[in-house]
Chain A
Amino acid sequence: MVKTRTALFAVTYLSAAIGYVTVMAHVHPAGHAAFWALAVLSVFRHGLRPFQVSRRWLNLLAVSVMVLSLSRLRADFLVEPLLDGMLILTGIKLLEAEKARDYMQIYLLCLFLLLGSGLMSLSASFLFYMVPLALLLTVSLMLLAFEDAAPGAALPKEALRKIAWNAGAMCVLSLPVAALLFLILPRTNFPLLNFLNQAAFGRTGFAESVRLGEVASIQEDSAVVFRAQMAPVDQGLLYWRGIVLDAFDGITWRPSRSSRSEPPAQAASPQPGDLRQVIYMEPYGLNRLFGLDRPVRIEGVPAQRSADGTFRVWSPIFKKTRYVVWSRVKTPYREAPGDLQKLLALPGDLPPRIRRLGLHLTAGKRAQDAVRDALAFLQSDRFRYALNDLPRDLESFLFDKRKGNCEYFASALAVLLRLGGVPCRLVGGYRGGYYNETGGYYLVLQKHAHVWTECYLPGKGWIRLDPTPPLAGTPALAYGERLLTRLRLLMDIINYHWFRLVVDYDVERQLALVRKARTLARNLAKRPEPPQGWKAAAAVAAMLALLTAAVGTVLHRRRHRENPGRKLRRAFASKMRRYGYELQPWEGLEEFVLRLEARDVREKALEFVRPFNEAVYRKGCLDKATVKHLTRILRDL
């Protein structure tokens, strides 16, 4: 026997723990401390009962906590203060928990905490917390009902197990309804949730300008930038173009002013051979859109195309965004270079050593030769790839330290080529990405951030040049080997689908669904077309699965088929229970009926019992007709 109260406490603390875990990452340290202190105090209080707490003081405390957290609210800092406040409120309520309404408030607060964490992360982990929390809340509501009916009562373990089962069944039963509601509830096309979670994202691994030696820890950052749904392509093609930097002042590369003020170029229409990618962009705080080099057309979001082959949206991306990119991956890319002066400009204070090196390496040569020689110089053994202890500037990279990351290599190449009169510029974006076989997408992380060089060869077009030595080992292969990373990969797939299917579900998708359903209905009404290709295979597989399921069910039912007599008897018993008579298992039906007090019930019950007894005990078997007949009598009972 377990006391209802004990069970209730256990369930409540578990719910509170889940609520705490969901928001753990977003809470102020003071919030953590306060919650822990209050929770420990409440355990102490409910366990030993050494003291009573005054409700008045607690309420005062709660109000002041809420006032404090509301006072911290700012337009871009909405959710966190509320989460802090609610977490502390949960602690206070735990301390206060005495009456049914206290418990209800705790559960409500836990739900709010969960919702808040869902707003903060917009990830599928919401679901993982949601399911156990819903289960616990259902259990505790039932326990509350018991406690309310008989305060201080105890329940046998069997009953607790039954409660848990029922709660689980309720949750499972509510799932289809929830799914249906999700699909049909009206949506807006305006993402209401977005303004709430702006502050949560400010990841910058990618910047509008590249300053030498300023490399942040972005190369170590494994936060997701975007996922690109596409077929796997050659590793050498994986350059995700984001920004073009054509102005160099000796230390920093940035887009030239004129290129920013250029009128937007017309979006090209995709040609055969172009690659289509669906990009799911994580919020990252800038307005650039990425696509496989070179993107020619972007659909799905209103994007502005620059003359240098980059795309941008009107405002920084602060929400998960989905768009389609068409890319022409063939190099060289034929396009007029535009202003050649700009692509050859060098800062006046370029160190003489670099000028001399340029004269030696590239000056006076044909463009192709200059490119080849400069590349050979940078890719020789003299230069190493490094992420720390980086050189101060380009001069020290070229002549002293001879190690650096992509920014140094790319700008060195660009400077050398410009010295040789080859128009070129830097391109910023990402290189590589892990292909997720299961999900069918490339996962691109912040640490894939990369800068490379692009030069214009007269008569040929733009050529992509990447002087940075490739890292040892192909990352895409190494990634999936460790168990932990594999788990992360799996989580990423779940998150990806969560976003694709749930978070991104808006009115357009709803309408598309309706259209699809309508077409399907129309097609079904028409003469069915012969299935072809994979459709046929899928149909066969589905049929086989159905058949297997049916056979399995039949076998299972046959093995577990209940004696029809027993079934009828149980049905009769439940009918009688409605009249308030309990049929004991050791009781024969006739003696049971004869002890019924209500005359009319007895008469009616006898109508069932007589043929039932005769069929079961005289003939020894219940045939279908008898069962039907008896069922009819039962229904009338």
Chain B
Amino acid sequence: MTAMLEPISELKLEGITKRFPGVLACDGISLQVRRGEVLALVGENGAGKTTLMNIIMGLYRPDSGSLFVNGEEVHFRTPGDAYARGIGMVHQHFMLVPNMTVAENLALGLKQLHHFMWLDIKGAARRIREVSERYELPVNPDAYIWQLSVGEQQRVELVKTLCLGARLLILDEPTSALTPQETDDLIERLQRMASELAIIFISHKLNEVKALSDRVSILRHGAVVFNGHTVNHEPAELAALMTGHEVTLPRNEGTGRPGKPLLSVKNLCVRGDRGNLVLDGLNLELRAGEILGVAGVSGNGQRELADTLAGLRAVESGEILFEGQNLANCSPRAIIDAGMGYVPEDRQTEGIVPSFSVKDNFILKDFASQQFSKLSFLRRREIDRHADQLKAGFDIRCPSTSTATGALSGGNIQKVILAREIARGPKALVAVYPTRGIDMGAQEFIHSQLLDHRRKGVGIVLISEELEEVMNLSDRIAVIYKGKILKTLPAVEATRERLGILMAGLTDTDSPPEPAASALPSAGAVHE
């Protein structure tokens, strides 16, 4: 192991304050975490969680306040200093080089392996095996990062951090990119590891917080507003403390009448970036005034389906009938003009032009319309008026509509996109992961907007990995698996378990336990 000073047994923060221009990111925060304990740090986006963690890791220096390791005051200037005292962080976005192996990635950060003219890759691999056995985190040191699934990459990050000598782990929203199954798996592993380590778990998924943590601290506007033992508090209570008001995510009450068929996808075949068929005879039907949830483990063709519906991916065969008109292989413009709206997966690069102002992003699809231009000159006054109207109507928090959109928080960017798409009065809307990484307040708002427009007769395709979200909002749920819709069922018949089985690719008959039961004996037979 690393030449450690002494294993970290306690980290204490006292009165940490950090200012950014116009924002008090951390306002006198005091926290404490000990070995054998999981502290959940909860808060909405912009509450100061990440800033605080960057201060612990020595990436930022606090304006005031102090850090203590084992009761001794420390000043970290770089992440290296933090690692030297046994503090390590797994960032939300993985810090791995895709075309290097796991061992090579570790060697990047571990100075002891670097000898004169020689890099001890075998030593790195040995160390990885040691750590992965000790903490039950199976990792193959010789695998290339790009070959690994997101869940496996997450494990690599954990192993890497442990190999670097960390005994206090900071995990920044570790589940945000994981599938439900991978999430459950990670939480289980972390529970087992917690006895030997101290863990700070940052999340705003309260059921995970509930499942994993011993204590919870809630940040709001840079200050700690609540400290408590997790067992004593229900998720709803924590949600209210986090947002400062009661949060009840709206639900689809199923009062809508089924409208006329709006969009029907027939036998759609589409090739992916590597040339393989990622959509392989996909069928889908959307009616006006309903929300059709598309559930599935990511990577089963959701992205390609969404791209194809937006006109950005060539259709090999099949039809996309929109009110009887075939939109397969039409240009994005033609599809937009036909009345399709789109909330893309990557809001930062696909939904907005980050350097454009909020008002310019509002007209991204309609700048050439009669409303916003005359003889191909932009009508600035009308654009301003329109922007102010949407800003108020969608509660978009920005200093002014001239602010660069990329500078806004994720939730507000998503509101900008949703406002643009809805203001266009679409007949159908495709929303891809519309609330990924967004805080509860914004999530509530976006959900109620979607339900609102469903009631007004808009047909909505909701592609999401959050089963909760799909089940709350949808009228019908289609499960996508390997480029096909495996089954479409009414939302009232959907349960977490049943969807989980379908998402794993097992077609059920009407009662879910049977296929699972029939699958077991055959597996047993092989064993015998």
A binds B: no
B binding-site residues for A, Cβ under 8 Å: none
A binding-site residues for B, Cβ under 8 Å: none
